[in-house]
A and B are shown apart, each in its own frame.
Chain A
């Protein structure tokens, strides 16, 4: 059969991943887990690649004039994987779960303006907001709906309405989903099964692709992009909805002052980022340099800010001189009051390109007398340093953090759900000492639908972020999806979740 004859049904798609799923809680948006969870669950609406709102479990939606509530009409032909009919009260219970900090997981931070949800019959639900919420559809897009009866067993099982049902999970070995015969979308899915195989060794993942052991892979390292193309493997770029950036962590007001307490030192770091070299050498061309965190179609994008910083080590050195950091003892590292200018820079081991970015920065800043101490961390160590802990009173433990953030490609407010930027419980400003105007403007931008009012607020926020240098955007991060030539219809959401429902094998 050739491609003209259309999709084939049957077969098993084996997908290699860089890590195992952590659990089946759809509200836990761990980078590794959620692309796999997508096979089990559906969301109420979904964005297409052009960010148009498309129906899923909801077929229609209507907001009130004030933008403080949205009423959704739900499909009436959907059943859960356990055979029970999907009804509006299920959505209400999911919303209620999201509103509780302990169970809301990563979605909890996004639903701060939601006051509640009410069902009107079995197929209509209204979600109420305390204030106009311009990113309300982003929330609906990211929030996948779980069967309430599964809430207590999400550590190792899932009951959803998605195209595939959980068949078996052998932790660390394989996760297998099987076709949902009662799926509401006519004729889907095409595949009998989808299996996800975690590889501890990235080299083994790439070799498995090259030799046909696996059919596809999610999130292959940028360094292997060209190698796979040369081996005849198709590699597609995801939505680019993530952003490599360096978070800058000045000392808190109750901590001793450090180099980064001085805005001029932070700005010196901002001037020392060679984005082109990073995209070429650390990301192997799989990226796109950017100085601002929003793409050019965003309401928060401003041409006049897009070139605010360039790679200018002379400007960086001048700022350090002005701030009083000079090399008094001739050892090549600037110092002030007996303190060396050394910046502890954490990176994520599981994403080796973050360490490469740190290394490029280390080499560049060494030429102007700043020592960058790169410290790659595994996920379990990175978390406490990146987010802070109760022992550190919620304060992050690093000077610079080469990381990536997400959701800024949808409504700009999505960026401010990421921990470094959020106005509540930010590990960078745990005592609330945000740069002046930041929180106020964010409150305006997040509570109005008026485009001009929002743009005015976002312009101020952009200027504040660039001037205070609390975060340094570097490049768009593209998730790479690799597949064998016989795999067709492999797709992904705007959040780079794999969609296997439309996939078929030739």
Chain B
């Protein structure tokens, strides 16, 4: 297991190296010039040239990449070219907010998908399964921004039950923090809930047809026991893969949800960095997201062994 995990970690190094080239290259392909923002709206040509030189943007792109990569391997993601803040500090601060939203979104996704997926498979062919299919179809068709705005309109503007935007840490004001989390968590988690429901239902139905389940029934085991001990545990394996992917996406920052709810997470940081062409922040954040995704995928793979002891890491 440990050897497997280490081997997987080593395998991620080329992935990260290629990602760094891709991230740097793609960011520089976005049209626009941060020097213009720094020089001001009516800057003179000589001021723009000076701003570019100050930012190091006058150097050849491969030199800029080498300088950046050199910093990254030393654990330094550089500083924002706009506000001078260390990129790592910015990411660390925003990641906490993203982690908070991820937890909320994941909770919503699991709270919806587990009961829906299990009950829809158990009551196959009935009205509940049809209702679940409708919810799943709707959830996958509704755009996130639309759902977010709708929730704000109904629960904030009309009913005035929940605040529409903002974020505070749980350690500061737990009650308000919870109320602020509800709408973005539902917005973020609803789509994932429907994806997970669909996979869980299919997986459950597949496992329920297995010989060992039939055998367990023939032996006279109670339905609840069969479901929890034999069906659900085995049906969760593909679901965990999907859950891992969704988790990676959440941790990478939910750009749309964070913008609608003014949530100061990684997604908004990336969006703002794109808007201002703050290259170090954008490169650092995207690289951080890639690393996070790789880590989550690795953890997901390792979780298989726990769920299904037949899987052994060679």
A→B interface (CB under 8 Å): 20, 22-23, 27-31, 101-102, 104-106, 108-109, 155-156, 169-173, 197, 199-201, 203-204, 207-208, 210-211, 213, 378-381, 383-384, 387-390, 394, 417-419, 422, 424-425
A171-B268 Cα distance, complex, nearest whole Å? 11
- A350 CB to closest chain B CB (Å) equals 8
Q: How many residue pairs bridge A and B at CB < 8 Å?
A: 144
25 residue pairs A–B, Cβ–Cβ below 8 Å: A23-B83, A29-B42, A101-B50, A106-B42, A108-B47, A155-B84, A171-B90, A197-B262, A200-B262, A204-B262, A207-B156, A207-B157, A207-B164, A208-B165, A208-B166, A211-B156, A213-B164, A378-B32, A379-B276, A383-B37, A384-B32, A387-B36, A417-B42, A418-B42, A425-B44
Other-chain residue from A30, A31, A211 in contact with B163 (beta carbon distance below 8 A): A211
**Is there an interface contact between A105 and B33, defined as CB atoms closer than 8 Å?**
no
Task: Give Cα A197 to B46, complex, Å.
Answer: 33
The CA of A31 and the CA of B41, in the complex, are separated in Å by: 8
Q: Tell yes or no: B38 within 8 A of A by CB.
A: yes
Give bound CA distance, A201 to B187, whole Å. 16
Q: Which of B23-48 contact A (CB under 8 A)?
A: 31-34, 36-48
* B201 interfacial by beta-carbon distance below 8 Å: no
- CB pair B157–A210 under 8 Å, yes or no, is yes
Contacting residue for B39 out of A105, A173, A394, CB 8 A: A105
The size bracket of the interface on B is 35 or more
Given contact pairs A23-B82, A199-B262, A425 touches B45 in the complex (Cβ within 8 A): yes
Contacts of A417 in B (CB 8 A): 42
Contact A380 B276 (CB under 8 A): yes
A317 CB to closest chain B CB, in angstroms? Answer: 35
A417 to B39, CA, bound (A): 15
What residue in chain B is nearest A170 (Cβ atoms)?
A: B93
Bound-state Cα–Cα, A447 to B262, Å? 50
C-alpha gap A418/B84 in the complex (Å):
28
The one of B40, B52, B164 that contacts A211, using a Cβ cutoff of 8 Å: B164
What distance in Å separates the Cβ of A421 from its nearest Cβ neighbour in chain B? 10
Q: Are B44 and A204 in contact (CB under 8 A)?
A: no
- Closest-by-CB residue of A relative to B46 is A101
Flag if A381 contacts B41 (CB, 8 Å).
no
Q: Let me know if B165 and A22 touch, CB within 8 A.
A: no
Q: Interface of B with A (CB < 8 Å)?
A: 31-34, 36-50, 52, 80, 82-85, 90, 93-94, 149, 152, 156-157, 160, 163-166, 259-262, 264, 268-269, 271-272, 275-277
A14 to B262, CA, bound (A): 14
A208 to B152 CA separation, bound complex (whole angstroms):
10
A173 and B84 contact, Cβ closer than 8 Å, known pairs A29-B40, A201-B259: no
In angstroms, Cα B40 to Cα A208, docked, is 29
Given known A172-B269, A207-B152, A211-B160, contact A380–B34 (CB-CB < 8 A): yes
Give the shortest distance, in Å, between B86 (CB) and chain A (any CB): 11
Q: What residues of chain A lie closer than 8 Å to B157, measured between beta carbons? A: 207, 210-211
**Residue pair B156, A30 in contact (C-beta under 8 Å):** no
Q: In whole angstroms, how far apart are the Cα atoms of A394 and B48 in the complex? A: 10
Q: Of all chain A residues, which has the CB nearest B49?
A: A390
Q: Are A394 and B45 within 8 A (Cβ)?
A: yes
Which label, helix, strand, loop or mixed, suits the secondary structure of the B interface?
helix
Closest to B42 in A: A419
| Bound form: Cα–Cα A203–B150 in Å | 12
**How far, in whole Å, are A204 and B166 apart by their CA atoms in the complex?**
10
Given pairs A23-B38, A207-B152, 4 additional interface contacts (CB within 8 A): A155-B84, A171-B90, A211-B160, A387-B36
Residue in contact with A387 in the complex, picked from B43, B85, B163, B276, CB distance below 8 Å? B43
Cα–Cα distance between A419 and B262 once the two chains are bound (Å): 34
Point out the residues of chain B lying under 8 angstroms from A418, CB to CB: 42
Q: Smallest Cβ distance from B62 to chain A, in angstroms?
A: 19
For B264, what are the chain A residues with a Cβ–Cβ distance below 8 Å?
170, 172-173
Q: Given A29-B41, A102-B47, A102-B50, A155 and B272 touching (CB < 8 A)?
A: no
Check if A109 sits within 8 Å of B44, measured CB to CB.
yes
Determine whether the beta carbon of B41 is less than 8 Å from that of A171. no
Q: Are B83 and A384 in contact (CB under 8 A)?
A: no
- Does the CB pair A172–B165 fall under 8 Å? no
A69 to B44, CA, bound (A): 26
Interface centre among B39, B83, B84, B261 (most CB of A within 10 A): B83
Cross-chain contact of B32 among A101, A171, A383, A387 (Cβ < 8 A): A383
CB pair A389–B48 under 8 Å, yes or no, is yes
Which residues of chain A have C-beta atoms less than 8 A from B83's C-beta?
Answer: 22-23, 155-156, 169, 171
Contacts known (A102-B47, A108-B44); A380 close to B37, Cβ less than 8 A = yes
CB-CB under 8 A for A378 and B259, given A28-B40, A102-B47, A207-B164: no
By a CB distance below 8 angstroms, the chain A residues around B163 are 211, 213
Q: How far is the CB of B185 from chain A (nearest CB, A)?
A: 16
B262 neighbours in A (Cβ, 8 Å): 197, 199-201, 204, 208
CA distance A388 to B43 in the complex (A): 10
> Chain B: which residue is nearest A380 at the CB level?
B32
Cβ 8 A contact of A380, one of B46, B84, B275: B275
Q: Of A23, A102, A207, A419, which is within 8 A of B165 by CB?
A: A207
Q: A207-B157, A208-B164, A213-B165 are in contact. Are A390 and B39 (CB under 8 A)?
A: no
State whether A204 touches B49 (Cβ < 8 A). no
For B46, the chain A residues whose CB sits under 8 A away are 101-102
Q: Once the chains bind, are A30 and B41 in contact (CB under 8 Å)?
A: yes
Residue in chain A with minimal CB distance to B31: A381
Give the residues in chain B near A106, CB-CB below 8 Å: 40-43
Give the residue name and chain of the A residue nearest to B84 (CB). Answer: A155
> Considering only CB atoms, which chain A residue lies closest to B162 in the complex?
A211
| Cβ contact within 8 Å between A22 and B82 | yes
Closest CB in chain B relative to A373 CB, distance in Å? 17
> Is A109 a contact partner of B42 (Cβ separation < 8 A)?
yes
Known A-B contacts A378-B32, A380-B32; A204 and B40 likewise in contact (beta carbons under 8 Å): no
Q: Are A384 and B84 in contact (CB under 8 A)?
A: no
For residue A156, which residues in chain B have a CB less than 8 angstroms away from its CB? 83-85
CA of A197 to CA of B263, assembled, Å:
11
Q: Would you call A388 and B45 a contact (CB within 8 A)?
A: yes
CA distance A105 to B269 in the complex (A): 27
In the assembled complex, the Cα of A28 lies from the Cα of B93 at a distance in Å of 28
Q: A156-B85, A201-B259 are in contact. Are A390 and B48 (CB under 8 A)?
A: yes
Give chain A residues whose Cβ lies under 8 Å from the Cβ of B39: 105
Q: Which residues of A contact B31 (CB under 8 A)?
A: 381, 384
- Cβ-closest chain B residue relative to A106: B40
Q: Are B269 and A384 in contact (CB under 8 A)?
A: no
The minimal Cβ–Cβ distance linking B220 to chain A, given in whole angstroms, is 58
Question: What's the Cα separation between A383 and B31 when bound, in Å?
Answer: 11
B277: contacting residue among A108, A169, A380, CB under 8 A: A380
Query: How far does the Cβ of A31 sit from chain B's closest Cβ, in whole Å?
Result: 7
- Which residues of chain B are near A31, meaning CB under 8 Å? 41
Chain A min CB distance to B129 (Å): 37
- A23: B residues at CB distance < 8 A: 38, 82-83
User: In the complex, A390→B44 CA distance in Å?
Assistant: 11
Are A384 and B36 in contact, CB atoms less than 8 angstroms apart? yes
CB neighbours (8 Å) of B82 from chain A are 22-23, 155, 171
